Amino acid sequence: MISQYASNKSGWLNPFDVVQTLYSSLTSAVFGKEASRDYVYEGIESFYDLNDTSSDLDSWLDEQTERAFSGILANIGGVGIHSGEVSDGAVIASPSKSHPNYFYQWVRDAAITINSLVEYLQDHQDSLDSPLSKQLIYAIESYISNSYKLQRIDNRSGTWESLDGLGEPKFMANSEPFKENWGRPQRDGPGLRVITIANYIGFLVENNLTVTHPELPSIEYIYNEILKPDLTYIANNWNKNGFDLWEEIDSVHLFTSLTMLKALKSGIKISGDCDDSDFNSKLRLAFISLRFFILFESGFKISDIPYLIETPSLFLQGQRCGLDIGSVLATLRAHDLDDPTDFIDIPFSIDDTAVISTLSALVNDMRYRYPINTEKGKFSKGLALGRYPEDRYDGYGISEGNPWFISTATASEVLFKLVYYLYFHHQDLVITKDQYVFYASFTDFDITTEAKEVVLPFNSHAFVETTLSLMKYADSFLEVIKQHVDEHGNMSEQFNKYTGYMEGAENLTWSYGSFWSAMRWRKRASDAVVSYA
């Protein structure tokens, strides 16, 4: 746990423990948690046929998972793209060069994409000598090497000397600076890069492997020359405004803050492993300060609102309701479900009911916002989801927002992760009052109960029936994706809310990555359920 990192030998009061004490004492006041709860063991039945083992969807999902992973690799320089246009290790957002032009490398997209490759290696540690694994290792280490170069390019966000240039959101595909006007700085890039590279270092250490790229002498070199500058940037800038992950609003955002916090936690571990004690202390202080801000000062969670608020400034000004799939993406990117300390150290993990409440609120809004969803009829069916209710970007310009593949796949992934978490850690399922209608959409959950909270004890009939229904419901979001990709499984950025046909940048890397990640957690959730059974 981070609290162990924050301890010292002199016996002074640990600031992290102060935060924990404050959190424990203020939780009920801040989050409005009611004492009234019911424990339900029986009496809940699924609207799905849980014995249905139809392979039609499974067959398509297996094929599309391979297509999606191929789609990821196709957009990485030196792996799928072999030309001077794209640097080795650079991840282009899309091959589209006009209407719209996404032929750039975004720091955010690249980090999230490369992390998928790391996760693939983590899942296939018994075949690290295979040609594919070697190709992935080359891609990851080329990305790390290219990151070293990008960090040192002076740009319109700032210089390398001041480290302000690390907030630059995107570069040309050949790693030249992007010189046009843009929403900058975007402060989530360094944190996401730290998370990805730290995960890769953890993979190397776990498997007794060394770095093989000729421009990367050692893990210590990567720490000192690449991770440390990014971590310094985070420690110096976590409390400053920047543009959000959709590149539209200059403010403080949950996605940025939460991924920064995860990066600081990773940095604390690595700096400790590298015996960098002074820097380790600096990171600890930044971690404690940022965590306190997220919990008590940011406005990301307000007591009388059940869902997370991505950009509190817009909510307080009455410009937006606060709902944003970015808040759900934040919890996916900032938490390792296999590390129990993340549930304590980093707020808004999958075990926090606010996460599912956020998804539930998005589903309720977009069920009627997008005409293609009204045709689906049954509430037990997944829906096409977009970014946020007030969205007006149509993939080409400003008119009306559409559903996104990223958002729809994210809904599926978060549900699979919830099931995995419950079974892997043997946890009860807690359903808050604002979620009653959500769970009643795919089970006969009694929404008339007067309890403020319902608990389904682990492994009870009600628990099993509901969690298996969650799996079916998660699948139904993947069925939506199946309806809107083309015959070859290609995935653009969006699909039209009236016609359902794809729009925006073609072969979007992040769309493929989101689908692949959802499928990864589908398998892990299924394995966890089967393993316990």
Chain centroid to CA 412: how far? 12
Q: Spell out the residues 6+ positions from residue 95 whose beta carbon is closer than 8 angstroms to its own.
A: 74, 75, 103, 506, 507
Mean pLDDT of the 324-335 span: 99
- Average predicted confidence (pLDDT) for the chain: 93
Helix axes 107-123, 509-532, angle to 10 degrees: 30
Our CA angle for 412, 413, 419, nearest 5°, is 95
Q: Which fold has domain 34-532?
A: Glycosyltransferase (1.50.10)
Question: How many angstroms separate the CA atoms of 117 and 119, rounded?
Answer: 5
- How confident is the model over 128-173, as pLDDT tens digits? 999 999 999 999 999 999 999 999 999 999 999 999 999 999 999 9
For residues 299 and 17, which has the higher predicted lDDT (pLDDT)?
A: 299
Question: How many angstroms separate the CA atoms of 294 and 323, rounded?
Answer: 17
Structure token pair of residue 164: 């302000």
Of the candidates 145, 22, 16, the one whose C-alpha atom is nearest the C-alpha of residue 78 is: 145
Question: How many angstroms separate the CA atoms of 155 and 160, rounded?
Answer: 9
pLDDT of the residue at 50: 84
Burial class (CB in 10 A: 0-12, 13-18, 19+), 494: buried
pLDDT at 27 over 70: no
The amino acid at residue 397 is G
- How confident is the model over 334-386, as pLDDT tens digits? 999 999 999 999 999 999 999 999 999 999 999 999 999 987 656 678 999 99
Residues 270 and 201 sit within 8 Å (Cβ to Cβ)? yes
Domain parsing of the chain, residue ranges: 34-532
Helix axes 353-369, 325-334, angle to 10 degrees: 150
Is the entire prediction scored with pTM above 0.85? yes
Active site residues: 244, 247
Structure token pair of residue 309: 């608020």
Instruction: State the DSSP code for 398.
Output: B
Q: Spell out the residues 6+ positions from residue 393 whose beta carbon is closer than 8 angstroms to its own.
A: 246, 401
